[in-house]
């Protein structure tokens, strides 16, 4: 029995793996694999349509939203977004609260001016900057809802007067949120919604209309909208895995039910870590992430033996990101509470042996 705490690609529900495997051999009783059917067939069109309508339903989106499934990871959105909306004589505002956000900033600078409204880089991104103002004349404000590497999460939606853009790669559909407040949301699928190779984009129709022209077709959101995510061959299998994961999420009660389970998992883990003095939590308590819990050990010499103990229990993905060190436990939607219970039991045993 494995306990999969990987940060991404990461655990998906067991039923998703089972159904995806069946569809590789025989998709819906057609005698054909999902991997060998044309994307412009009614068979695949039904997959895409159901995935889009489940996104609209689960996120409770209003009529003015477009849902797209696009190629590439979230990193493609780092440059595709400014390529569509920024130019040499305009400015986009960014919050710098983590490694992923700083990469988005770097890419945006290739297309126009960037105003970084605040940064927590000097304290190794151990918190979300809490006082900043966003200029009203910027073309959009971009932030990362959950900083996957550093283990911080923005618990409130910032109030701004300009189009609001968010990278939600590592916490999309994990908690209730007014998704309609955003003009543009993107998320690489491989953390909470499916398999690597596809991006979910949810955006206001009116905002997309304002995009730049004269950029490559595959980069222009308007063209993807006009062609219903089928400007070229979409990542068929990755989208199918998203559909299966979205169906599973709906079956367990949707985002509200998911949030309750995620809160249970995170509070069990954080409470255990706080109760055991051998562990250290570097992140400001008010900004702790419900998706990625980062911690170190006060005695660094114990880290190797803790890692070994985790390994013996079948735990994978507990090592921290190479840029941060220590440990990171990812608690994405599909991770069962029982895996966190096994981990916290191990932590208590380990602490009583070494504390
Ligand atoms: C994982 C991650 C990315 C990068 O995703 P890729 O699909 O590998 O490009 C970007 N932003 C956040 C918040 C992430 O968690």
Residues 196-255 have pLDDT tens digits of: 999 999 999 999 999 999 999 999 999 999 999 999 999 999 999 999 999 999 999 999
Burial of residue 234, with CB atoms counted within 10 A of its CB: 0-12 exposed, 13-18 middle, 19 or more buried = buried
Reading the block at residue 24, the tokens are 């590789």
Contact 97, 103 (CB under 8 A): no
- Looking at residue 303, its pLDDT comes to 95
**148 by DSSP, 3-state: which?**
coil
Q: What is the dihedral of CA 271, 274, 276, 278, to 10 degrees?
A: 140
Fold match flag (14-251 vs 254-354): no
Active-site residue 100, yes or no?
yes
Cα distance between residue 318 and residue 342, in whole Å: 13
Marked catalytic residue, from 65, 96, 100, 183: 100
Active-site residue 191, yes or no?
yes
Residue ranges of the chain with pLDDT lower than 70?
Answer: none
Residue in the block written with tokens 């905002």: 207
CA 284 to chain CA centroid, nearest Å:
21
**233 by DSSP, 3-state: which?**
coil
Cα distance between residue 281 and residue 312, in whole Å: 24
Q: Measuring CA to CA, how many Å separate 214 from each of 70, 85, 219, 228, 230? A: 19, 12, 10, 20, 20
What is the distance in angstroms between the CA of the first residue and the CA of the last residue of the chain? Answer: 28
- Looking at residue 324, its pLDDT comes to 79
Q: Residue 338 Cα, ligand 1 centroid: separation in angstroms? A: 27
Cα distance between residue 182 and residue 105, in whole Å: 19
152 pocket-lining for ligand 1 (C-beta < 6 Å) = no
Q: Does domain 254-354 have CATH number 3.90.1150.10?
A: yes
330 pocket-lining for ligand 1 (C-beta < 6 Å) = no
Q: Residue 188 Cα, ligand 1 centroid: separation in angstroms? A: 6
- Going from N- to C-terminal start, the domains of the chain cover 14-251, 254-354
β-sheet bridge partners, residue 328? 294
Cα distance between residue 96 and residue 102, in whole Å: 6
Give the class (CATH, top level) of 14-251: alpha beta
Active-site residue 287, yes or no?
no
Marked catalytic residue, from 65, 96, 171, 191: 191
8 pocket-lining for ligand 1 (C-beta < 6 Å) = yes
Cα distance between residue 15 and residue 311, in whole Å: 25
The helix or strand, by DSSP H or E, that contains position 296, with its residue range, turns out to be: strand 292-297
Reading the block at residue 170, the tokens are 């590592």
Closest atom, ligand 1, to C-alpha of 74: 9
326 pocket-lining for ligand 1 (C-beta < 6 Å) = no
- Looking at residue 132, its pLDDT comes to 95
β-sheet bridge partners, residue 115? 93
Contact 30, 340 (CB under 8 A): no
β-sheet bridge partners, residue 153? 146
Contact 23, 46 (CB under 8 A): no
CA 326 to chain CA centroid, nearest Å:
21
């Amino acid at each position: 029995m494995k306990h999969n705490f990987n940060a991404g690609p990461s655990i998906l529900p067991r039923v998703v793996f089972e159904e995806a495997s069946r569809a590789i051999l025989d998709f819906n009783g057609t005698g054909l694999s999902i991997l060998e059917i044309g994307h412009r067939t009614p068979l695949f069109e039904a997959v895409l349509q159901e995935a889009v309508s489940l996104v609209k339903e689960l996120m409770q989106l209003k009529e003015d939203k477009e849902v797209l499934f696009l190629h590439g990871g979230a990193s493609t959105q780092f440059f595709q977004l400014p390529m569509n909306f920024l130019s040499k004589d305009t400015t986009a505002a960014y919050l710098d609260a983590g490694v992923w956000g700083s990469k988005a900033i770097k890419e945006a600078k290739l297309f126009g001016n960037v105003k970084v409204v605040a940064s927590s880089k000097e304290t190794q991104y151990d918190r979300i900057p809490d006082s900043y103002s966003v200029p009203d004349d910027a073309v959009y404000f971009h932030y990362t809802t959950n900083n996957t590497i550093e283990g911080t999460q923005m618990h409130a939606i910032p109030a701004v007067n300009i189009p609001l853009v968010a990278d939600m790669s590592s916490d999309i559909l994990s908690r209730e949120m007014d998704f309609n407040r955003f003009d543009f949301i993107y998320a690489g699928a491989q953390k909470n919604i499916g398999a690597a190779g596809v991006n979910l984009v949810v955006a206001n129709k009116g905002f997309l209309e304002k995009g730049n022209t004269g950029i490559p077709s595959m980069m222009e959101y308007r063209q993807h909208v006009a062609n219903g995510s089928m400007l070229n061959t979409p990542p068929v299998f990755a989208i199918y895995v998203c559909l299966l994961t979205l169906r599973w999420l709906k079956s367990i009660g949707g985002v509200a039910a998911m949030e309750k389970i995620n809160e249970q998992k995170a509070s069990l883990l954080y409470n255990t870590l706080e109760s055991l003095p051998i562990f250290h939590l570097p992140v400001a308590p008010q900004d702790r992430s419900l998706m990625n819990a980062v911690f170190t050990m006060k005695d660094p010499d114990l880290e190797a033996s803790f890692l070994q103990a985790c390994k013996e229990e079948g735990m994978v993905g507990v090592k921290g990101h190479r840029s941060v060190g220590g440990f990171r436990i990812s608690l994405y939607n599909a991770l069962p509470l029982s895996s966190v219970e096994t981990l916290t039991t191990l932590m208590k045993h380990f602490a009583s042996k070494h504390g």
